[in-house]
Amino acid sequence: MNAPLLNGQVAVIGAGTMGIGIAQLAAAAGHPVRLFDIAPAAAQRAIDDLARRLRQRVDGGKADAATTEALLARLERADSLDQLADCTLVIEAVAENLAIKQGLFRDLEAICSPTALFASNTSSLSITAIAGALQHPARMAGLHFFNPAPLMKLVEIVSGLETGAETLAALQALAQRWGKQSVVCRSTPGFIVNRVARPFYAETLRALEERVADAATLDAVLRDAGGFAMGPLQLTDLIGQDVNYAVTDSVYQAFYQDPRFTPSLVQQELVAAGRLGRKSGRGFYRYDAPQSADAIAFAPPAQAAVPQRVTLHGDWSSLADLAQLLSENAGAIKQPGQTSPHVTIDDVTLMLTNGKTAGQLADERGTPVVLFDLCADYAHASAIAISCAAQNDAQHNANAIRLLQSLGKQVIPLPDYPGLLTMRTLAMLANEALDVVNKGVASAEDTDLAMLRGVNYPRGPLAWGAALGWRHILTTLENLQRYYGEARYRPMPLLRRYASPASFPGAER
């Protein structure tokens, strides 16, 4: 990267939350920064608010005074675009309006040096379209930070159709110097994170629509069992229901209303009611009055004796941590084989959900069936979700619950819901991530890194899918597609290829 960009003047346009966050980040890295907003008072207010927050950290002993004052000294307000003429990098963080962004960069091209680079922090608009306003679009790329920009490690560097290789390389080097992990992707709707993440919200919203459980219980399945940092409904309350809904709708429209991105009517209704989450005092949860925590529907201690005979059947290599728990805590005996992994508890079959209902599998197998949901880490998950076939009697279900409770798990009984919740969510995340890779939007490594660092997933969806077995992911989606009769769950071509035994011997497990 050339020295002028490494040490040069940075301009940030837009003094909202993202704009001032990016300005703080650049100033902390040693750059002189000019913050411009169409309303000069807004730019000054943003700088003053930042100064107040940073000095409070100093007063609280959480930051060094000299370092803080040096950072603030590198920040100044610009009152016109002409004052940005000597900047080597201009980062735009204004309203998500294509015409506004195009007009802005058209004006900047007439003002700034031909060697200055332009970047947009857009999360939903085409970089190719924004750069279409420029005579020299090779200098333009996306630089998509995540909120809060100074803290979140990920930045998506987005290439438009005409973005130059030198521009991408320079921004990658700059991101590294700023302490960020960067991923590179093509300019397609949602880039990596906002595209791949849609099923994380959508599957739980669907379960809520279908009255599978209340919000607190559904969130607990993904958080306490699935290993995600927050449940999807908690997270949308934090993001803002209006913001999250708008992103989903934007991706849905950009993909010509593909059903796998269909927005939720439940979320739309919250937005219409003004229940936007934390910022409005109420969303899926209430924040506007002191109250006890929402109760999670855990199963009470099962009234059943410890099972006399617990046997592990099939190949447990994809669930080795659970197999070890069962062996150590329940005295499970292994009977290796090539079948799908399952447990027999006396006469009850306990098995990982595969997109069929427990009732379907009980009919097929001719035994009582209890399905358990996927966990990112069975050894450390505090809870596990299950569903029981209607054909079972109460004692069958109690035996399975007692076994899982003996492993130190809280058990969350759900109705007989196909694919339960974490399993179907991972299947959809991995399916979308594979489509990103298959269509050359980003590499597999960058796709997983984006989901790990951008939204703090417990595992990258591609690494997780490979560890579980692509055949199981494919089977889950095919069963869900048959159950619902919807294209939403159609497997992507690369998933079918990866799940082929010819590509991955033994993948049929």
Q: Which of 125, 150, 177 is nearest to 20 (CA)?
A: 150
Q: Name the catalytic one among 120, 123, 126, 187.
A: 123
The beta strands (E) that lie in 251-346 are given as: 310-313, 333-335, 342-345
> 97 catalytic, yes or no?
no
Looking at the DSSP bridge assignments, the partners of residue 313 are: 335, 342
Q: Name the catalytic one among 31, 126, 144, 340.
A: 144
Q: Name the catalytic one among 156, 203, 432, 478.
A: 156
What are the φ/ψ torsions at residue 312 (nearest 5 degrees)?
A: -95, 120
H helices present in 221-306, as ranges: 232-239, 241-254, 265-272
3-state secondary structure of 284: coil
What is the chain's alpha carbon radius of gyration, rounded to the nearest angstrom?
A: 26
- Cβ-based neighbours of 171, under 8 Å, separated by 6 or more: 117, 119, 141, 143, 157, 182
Is residue 463 within 8 Å of residue 448, measured between CB atoms? yes
Is residue 303 within 8 Å of residue 398, measured between CB atoms? yes
Q: Name the catalytic one among 194, 250, 431, 479.
A: 194
Distance of CA 502 to the CA centre of its chain: 31
> 500 catalytic, yes or no?
no
What are the φ/ψ torsions at residue 317 (nearest 5 degrees)?
A: -60, -30
3-state secondary structure of 117: strand
Distance, in Å, from the CA atom of 333 to the CA atom of 325, rounded to the nearest integer, reads 12
- Cβ-based neighbours of 501, under 8 Å, separated by 6 or more: 471, 507, 508
> 194 catalytic, yes or no?
yes
> 144 catalytic, yes or no?
yes
Q: Which residues are catalytic?
A: 123, 144, 156, 194
